[in-house]
Amino acid sequence: MKCLQRQPEMSRSQELQRNAQSQKVVNMNVKLLGMEGDPDLQFLLQGGDLLKVRSSSWKKTRYYRLQEDCKTMWHESKKTFRTKQTFSLDDISALRMGRQSEGLRKNTEEQVDGRCFSIIFKSRRKNLDLIASSEEEAKQWVNSLQKMVSSINNLSSQQKAEHWIISCLAKADKNKDEKLSLSEMKNFLRLINIEVDDEYAEIVFKKCDTSNSGYLSGKEIEHFYDLLTHREEIDVIYGEYAKTTGFMSPDNLVEFLMKEQREKTTLADAHKIIEKHEPDEKAKEKKLLTKDGLLMYLHHQDTLVLNPDHKDVYQDMSHPLNHYFISSSHNTYLMEDQLKGPSSTEAYVRALLKSCRCVELDCWDGSDDEPVIYHGYTLTSKILFKDVIKAIKEYAFKTSDYPVILSLENHCSVEQQEVMARHMSSILGSALVTSPLGEGMPTDFPSPEDLKGKILIKGKRLNKLEASFAAEAAAADATDVTEEEESNDEDEQKEEEKKKKLKLAKELSDMVIYCKSVHFHSFEDARKNQSFYEMSSFKEGKAENLAEESANAYIHHNVDKLSRIYPAGTRTDSSNYNPVPLWNAGCQIVALNFQTSCMDMDVNQGRFLINGKSGYILKPAYMRDTATEFDPITLTRGDWLKHKTLHVMVISAQQLPKVNNKKSSIVDPVVKVEVYGVPADVAEKETKNIENNGFNPTWNESFQFDVYVPELALVRFVVEDYDSTSDNEFVGQYTLPFNSLKLGYRHVPLLNKNGDLLPSAGLFVHIMVVDAE
């Protein structure tokens, strides 16, 4: 039975021509990367066999090599109809040498450790676990891939755009003759997310086809590229300030920076900018900035919409721990939903690398006296407690040096609690805080600075911390304490029924120093009876009610104590709630499902984007003051009221990705600008949609927002694919604190739904903030 058509074989000359064209594309990309003659790049282009590991029984040899775009890895697949046999180097989050992934530890023997490596992806894609034929070869693969990922990440936005367009042109040139026919040009436009009608396509084609040959080649393709990437808005800005014989002089640049960008700058700064960003050597010699130079400057990391001064740790980190918002995760072990999704140590690694500083461990008795972590009474898979502690030990401080809190939800027998305590003690060692810092009984929390590199345990404790300082502190036996099952309480009645007595092992109890879990009765009761280190967890509904009805009392409570908020047990799909109203009430540990991509996680990422991505953001002074009258709902007069008017002009977008890979699918982009903060500041405005253009749409639409409490406000830019009959589809977004906005003409990078950077995509906006009258 003949079911698969074979491709017609090429003649020898056709094959040679195709190979030469392929090599030409490789050479262009190699040059753009500045990696001519690099042995690591040549190794990847040549490729080789690796053993792919999926399970203990599924280990198969596959051939891997880098494609001609120097950015995409191809691998053979034995599946007949498998089309997507590639992954982009942009999608690689990390490379790990040895048996470092959960899969390799489970499915391989220790003796192959040196030959193993894993490719970890940014999205939810599974890790790629591989075994090379020798240790040297494994190192070569890891080093070569790391070098390529680093080279691509270090490209400027302009270079990334060029790299991408070169690759798309190569894909569109189906017969590899280095010429573009009209149909190939249309194919290319679809690849880069533009749909044009036939008439317009022919006009553009004829304009570029100066030789009247019926196809574009050489200089004609360059002209077509220039027409395509021409940005009229940059012409307008440049024309306004290029007053020195059509170029920008250092004086003109100073005027632009001070007047438009609202930057304090000097002539010396202008000279440095020209020296660094001007690509034309002749212009650079004459100390002039061309239009390309201005565009290169506006694309630079430090001139984007986020204030570069806020990228590093810039806040005072010496306040008590409870004076900070703390990036926090719920059900950290889950990769997906709460009913049957997989549990994985990889989920902890991902959260910690995203600078999450409070992770949750649901602990249950396991077989062989080894406690396990999973979502109780569900079909979620189980992982060993000790494996989670090992992963935390290794990844806790890779992104941030500041303390990590382990929130224990403990359902274990006394015997297995003792095992938990032993594992934490032996694996975490001196990083684990097992007694108060300093001499004597503390009266307040230590600061994030004091706790750098330290791990705190949040959980039940048999007695007050003060008791450990009493002379007669006896070795208490395991005693009953009340344990609330945080993740499953559907309503108050069930919650009361579910409270149960839990025998608590002294070894585990003694490890709880600054985060002792206690039940919340009322703010008055907490004020009278709770010590500073005793903290309550609130499910979202209860916390939202308190934040709305008793906001000032909640803020006062959080001036002295820590509060943890967690999603309702009814969120079986691991969806999230809006964290903003709870931050407005001063709650520090607002725990979200990091495994779920959604607007709430975008806002969380935006809140913790600044301050060195440390996972700690200092609360405003009026939320740390014991006498504060701040109430986010009523907004009476006070230091917090700094009424500003935010003006945003959405000018254009560049290189938006398709939302699905169908060749015919072209984005119809619409931009939304959203403000989050106190209720008075919450607002949303949106542009009209642009049909069939995701490559270089232009809006030039202006919006105005009133912002009353800027210190708590966040601004979110969202791009969606407009649909008149159903919900718009998400394309990309970027969220940042209002006080971290840079003014003037700014590029806004865009993140995908997983919070990772879209390599070439962005918005171009103009921002102005003025004091309201």
Average pLDDT of the residues in 718-733: 92
CB atoms within 10 A of CB 367: 7
Give CATH for domain 321-462+503-623.
3.20.20.190
Give the span between the Cα atoms of 124 and 19, in whole angstroms: 35
pLDDT at 14: 57
Q: In the predicted model, what is the mean pLDDT of residues 473-491?
A: 51
State residue 494's pLDDT score: 46
State yes or no: 452 annotated in a binding site.
no
pLDDT for res 204: 82
Question: 61: annotated binding-site residue?
Answer: yes
β-sheet bridge partners, residue 704: 647
Every domain of the chain and the residues it spans: 24-154, 158-229, 232-303, 321-462+503-623, 644-771
Q: 200 or 753: whose pLDDT is higher?
A: 753
Structure confidence by residue, pLDDT tens digits, 507-546? 999 999 999 999 999 999 999 999 999 999 999 999 999 9
The mean per-residue pLDDT over the stretch 409-424 comes to 96
| Residue bearing the bigger pLDDT, 126 or 425 | 425
- Cα-flanking dihedrals φ and ψ of residue 62, to 5°? -135, 145
In the chain, count H helices and then E strands.
23, 31
β-strand pairing of 534-539 with 563-566: parallel
Task: Check the annotation: does 12 bind a ligand.
Answer: no
Q: Which residues make Cβ contacts (< 8 Å) with residue 673, sequence separation at least 6?
A: 648, 650, 684, 685, 686, 703, 705, 715, 716, 717, 718
> What pLDDT score was predicted for residue 37?
87
Residue 745 clears pLDDT 80, i.e. is over it: yes
Q: Which of 181, 177, 217 is nearest to 10 (CA)?
A: 177
Helix, strand or coil, per DSSP, at residue 100: coil
| Span 561-607, pLDDT tens digits | 999 999 998 888 889 999 999 999 999 999 999 989 999 999 999 99
What's the pLDDT score for residue 335? 87
Asked whether residue 79 carries a pLDDT value surpassing 80, the answer given is: no
Whether the per-residue pLDDT at 426 is higher than 60: the answer is yes
Q: Which of 590, 593, 499, 585 is nearest to 548 (CA)?
A: 585
75-81-86 Cα angle (round to 5): 25
What CA–CA distance (Å, rounded) separates 551 from 629?
10
CATH code assigned to 24-154: 2.30.29.30
Q: Which CATH fold would you assign to the domain 644-771?
A: Immunoglobulin-like (2.60.40)
Q: What is the pTM of this model?
A: 0.88
End-to-end CA distance of the chain: 81
* Architecture (CATH level 2) of domain 158-229: Orthogonal Bundle (1.10)
Q: Are 232-303 and 321-462+503-623 in the same CATH fold?
A: no
Which pLDDT does position 493 carry in this prediction?
Answer: 41
What is the percent of the chain with per-residue pLDDT over 70, rounded to a whole number?
92
Q: Is 487's pLDDT higher than 50?
A: no
pLDDT value for 6: 42
Q: Indicate whether 396 pLDDT > 50.
A: yes
User: What's residue 482's pLDDT?
Assistant: 56
| Two tokens, residue 28 | 């262009």
Residue 409 labeled ligand binder: yes
Question: What's the pLDDT at 760?
Answer: 81
Give the span between the Cα atoms of 537 and 268, in whole angstroms.
Answer: 54
Residue 170 contacts residue 184 (beta carbons within 8 Å): no
Residues 6 or more apart whose CB falls under 8 angstroms from that of 131 comprise 50, 51, 53, 59, 108, 112, 115, 116, 138
Pairwise pLDDT comparison (473 vs 31), residue with the higher score: 31
Nearest Cα to Cα of residue 72 among 101, 92, 57: 92
Task: Using the predicted structure, report yes or no on whether residue 282 has a pLDDT greater than 60.
Answer: yes
For 761, the 3-state DSSP assignment is strand
Cβ atoms 733, 718 nearer than 8 A: yes
**Mean pLDDT taken over the chain:** 89
The angle that helices 157-172 and 12-33 make with each other, rounded to 10 degrees, is: 170
Query: CA angle at residue 334 from 515 to 311, to 5 degrees?
Result: 65
Q: Which residues are catalytic?
A: 330, 375
Q: What is the pLDDT of residue 492?
A: 46
Confirm whether residue 563 is marked as ligand binding.
no
482 is in an annotated binding site: no
Length of the chain: 773
The pLDDT score that the predictor gives to residue 499 is 57
User: Residue 53 annotated as binding?
Assistant: yes
Cα–Cα distance, 249 to 736 (Å, whole number): 33
70 in a known ligand binding site: yes
The residues facing 74 across adjacent strands are 65, 86
311 annotated as belonging to a binding site for a ligand: no
What pLDDT is recorded for position 222? 79
Residues 415, 458: Cα–Cα separation, whole Å? 19
Instruction: Answer yes or no: CATH 3.30.420.40 is held by domain 232-303.
Output: no
